[in-house]
């Protein structure tokens, strides 16, 4: 069952792999306890996908591998 997470205090940063002309960008908010929200930078008022911190860490590790 999904739960709602408050991301109002999130400090967003663009992915280092986003291109420089504003297209295809995702933003991630770090340092929130237990979860990592991700959003489309072209729609900052839109929804965010929220992942458990451990799952996000495993995803990033697999990308780096």
Give pLDDT tens digits for 23-54: 668 899 988 889 999 998 888 888 889 999 99
Task: Give the per-residue pLDDT at 3.
Answer: 58
**Contact (CB, 8 A) for 56 and 48:** no
To the nearest 10°, report the CA torsion of 32, 59, 57, 53. 40
Residue-averaged pLDDT of the chain: 83
> What is the pTM (predicted TM-score) of this model?
0.77
Nearest alpha carbon to residue 17 among 46, 38, 47, 48: 38
pLDDT, greater one: 21 or 50: 50
Q: Using the predicted structure, report yes or no on whether residue 2 has a pLDDT greater than 60.
A: no
Contacts of 43 (CB under 8 A, 6+ apart): none
């Amino acid at each position: 069952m999904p739960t709602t997470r408050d991301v109002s205090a999130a400090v967003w940063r663009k992915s280092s792999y986003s291109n420089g002309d504003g297209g295809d960008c995702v933003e991630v908010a770090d340092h929130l306890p237990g979860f990592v929200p991700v959003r489309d930078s072209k729609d900052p008022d839109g929804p965010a996908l929220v992942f458990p911190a451990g799952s996000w860490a495993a995803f990033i590790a697999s990308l780096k591998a």
